[in-house]
Structure 1
Amino acid sequence: MKRLAFIITLLIVSSCAKDKSNFTLKGTIKDLKKGTVYLQKIEDSTLVSIDSLNIIGESPFELRTYLDAPEVLFLKLDKNGEDSGIIPFFAAEGITEINTTLKNFFMDAKIKGSVQQEKLEEYKLMMDKFKDKNLDLIKNNLEARRSQDSLQIDSSLKEYNNLIVRKYLYTINFAINNKESEIAPYLAVSEIPDANLKYLDTINKALPPAIKDSKYGKELQDLIDERRKE
């Protein structure tokens, strides 16, 4: 009887926690027969699950949590005891919808939700172009090394270094141009934490008080403080 009462108490606590949620993740996974989806967040540099659901068939799923402020969360799929992929997304109070497939869980993900997510996708589109250019440079460098073309090797190396600089400058400008959004400090701490301190400080000084006080605004300030100690 004591064990039964304990289990009932846990269920009641869990139900209350979901009732107090202010964020819902809805979605579907095409061709999934059976699996478990997890809603996760990063705590102390570790991914932890904050909600989960067992799925049978292609039925829609719903996961919930409470957000103090917008932040990047993760949708993870576990199929037959094996990790089948993870999808990061920028969550904010309200509803986010993710529809994807079992075959290409990450690549096929269509995300509809927060304005922060829209900005993140805009940023990623440009980053994809940088990645494509980087692959071209790697290919050119390999061909130059095979033919022992020292001029082409030097040229591809210079282009690569210029590409890195352009990527950093684009990220800095994107953050400053979107200083009213949590995306600004998030990109600073996740994409360019090793950038010149003056650039990180420029982003930080451009943030309005509300963004400075957000999760990633505080992380950016902590990063700058740590870098100054070095």
Structure 2
Amino acid sequence: MKKISVLLVLVLMFSCGKEQHDLTVKTSIKGLKKGTVYLKKVKDTALVTVDSIVVNGNSEFELHSDLESPEVFFLYLDKNSKENDRISFFADKGITEINTTLKNFVFDAKINGSAQQKTWDEYKLMMSRFNERNLDLIKENFEAQKNGDTSKIKSTQKESDNILKRKYLYTVNFALNHKDSEVAPYLALTEIYNAQVKYLDTISNSLTPKVKDSKYGKELQSFIKTIKNTEQP
């Protein structure tokens, strides 16, 4: 019994002595030998560093941050050059794992973590399809201008305008269909902030109490209030 008691005391002492973090970002960057990695987030409209680590031989490491509610963070890699790459991810309390490579830091990134990240990935996948089609239209429009094809110029421009409208509508509907996720107010603030205030209001009013009380939920309410005050005669 005495041995068990001593063991329990030691375990408790170790647990109390170990620093606790709201967010732990376990990171692996294949091929990275030296460099500095920064964990950043937006605070009061400015991008601030919340943690950093100097890598010297070990490409696997952890970064940490306090976290009141789910929000977007950025992983920056300073490769001792003028180029700065960043990986954005939606984090919640607990552990987020990011595995990538030095060669393709952003494009090879595999993120495993919050439910919000999965929801955000779903949204970004659809946006990438819209963007790919829009790139095709830009090329078609350029060729049409070279050939003096006015009919093709008008048709590509019309389709491009329609894609923009579809992106807005998709974002609004996506936010409304994910009213229980902090991704909804985040999209309203970052993707359709210049939409008619009635759309932003509809999204804000649809949010669950938990999401409405989150960082982005509060920011959306404040943003809408500012717009309404500005529009008043």
TM over 0.5: yes
* 1:28 corresponds to: 28
* 2:88 corresponds to: 88
Q: Which amino acid is the alignment partner of residue 66 of structure 1?
A: D
Q: CA deviation at 1:81?
A: 5.6
- In structure 2, do the counterparts of structure 1 residues 82 and 204 end up closer, same or farther at CA, with 3 Å as the change threshold? same
Q: Distance in 2 between matches of 1:79 and 1:147?
A: 44
For the pair shown, the structure with the greater C-alpha radius of gyration is: 2
* 1:220 corresponds to: 220
Q: CA deviation at 1:174?
A: 0.5
Instruction: Please give the TM-score of this superposition, normalised by the length of structure 1.
Output: 0.89
The answer to whether the aligner puts 1:190 opposite 2:187 as a matched pair is no
* 2:199 corresponds to: 199
Q: Which amino acid is the alignment partner of residue 172 of structure 1?
A: V
Q: Which amino acid is the alignment partner of residue 205 of structure 2?
A: K
Residues 31 and 59 of structure 2 are in contact (CA less than 8 Å); yes or no, is this contact kept in structure 1?
A: no
**Secondary structure at 1:19's aligned position in 2?**
coil
* 2:160 corresponds to: 160
Deviations 1:43-76 (A, max 9, x none): 1221111111111224311011110110001111
Instruction: Please give the TM-score of this superposition, normalised by the length of structure 2.
Output: 0.88
Q: Distance in 1 between matches of 2:36 and 2:221?
A: 37
Structure 2 regions of 5+ residues with no counterpart? 1-15
Aligned residues: 214
Q: Which amino acid is the alignment partner of residue 133 of structure 1?
A: R
Residues 29 and 100 of structure 2 are in contact (CA less than 8 Å); yes or no, is this contact kept in structure 1?
A: yes
Q: CA deviation at 1:82?
A: 4.4
Deviations 1:56-105 (A, max 9, x none): 22431101111011000111111226444111100100000001111111
Identity %: 57
* 2:70 corresponds to: 70
Q: Which runs of 4+ in 1 moved over 2 A?
A: 80-84
Residues 30 and 59 of structure 2 are in contact (CA less than 8 Å); yes or no, is this contact kept in structure 1?
A: no
The answer to whether the aligner puts 1:141 opposite 2:138 as a matched pair is no
